[in-house]
């Protein structure tokens, strides 16, 4: 199954599970984000991500440069709950 197919299945399942009033809030928030111009400022596919640093799970500082020195790096962003 392709990523596109998986995302379509998630959208379909969500449309059945999430109440219409909540869906309206989510769609409005998405439209507001798109209208803000945020899509023009994001890193595009194939572009290198900016260098960043932050706390590791044990509280020590760690940077993307340090992690990349060990091999490929996968970064996952979790937006939170609606």
Q: pLDDT tens for residues 9-63?
A: 999 999 999 999 999 999 999 999 999 999 998 888 888 889 999 998 899 999 9
Give the per-residue pLDDT at 82. 55
The verdict on residue 10 lying in a domain is yes
Model's pTM, two decimal places?
A: 0.53
Q: How many domains does the chain have?
A: 1
Cα gap 10→14, rounded to integer Å: 6
Asked if residue 17 belongs to a domain, the reply is yes
Closest CA relative to residue 64, chosen from 53, 48, 76: 53
What are residue 27's phi and psi, to 5 degrees?
-65, -40
**19 in a domain, yes or no?**
yes
CB atoms within 10 A of CB 64: 16
> Which residue range is the domain that position 5 belongs to?
1-42
In a domain, 21, yes or no: yes
In a domain, 12, yes or no: yes
Residue 78 lies in a domain: no
* Whole-number Å distance between alpha carbons of 3 and 23: 22
């Amino acid at each position: 199954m392709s990523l596109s197919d998986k995302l379509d299945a998630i959208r379909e399942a969500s449309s059945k599970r999430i109440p219409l009033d909540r869906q309206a809030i989510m769609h409005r928030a998405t439209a507001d984000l798109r209208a803000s111009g945020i899509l023009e400022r994001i890193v595009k596919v194939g572009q290198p991500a900016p260098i960043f640093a932050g706390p590791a799970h044990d509280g020590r500082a760690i940077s993307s440069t340090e992690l990349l020195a060990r091999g490929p790096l996968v970064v996952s962003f979790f937006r939170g709950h609606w």
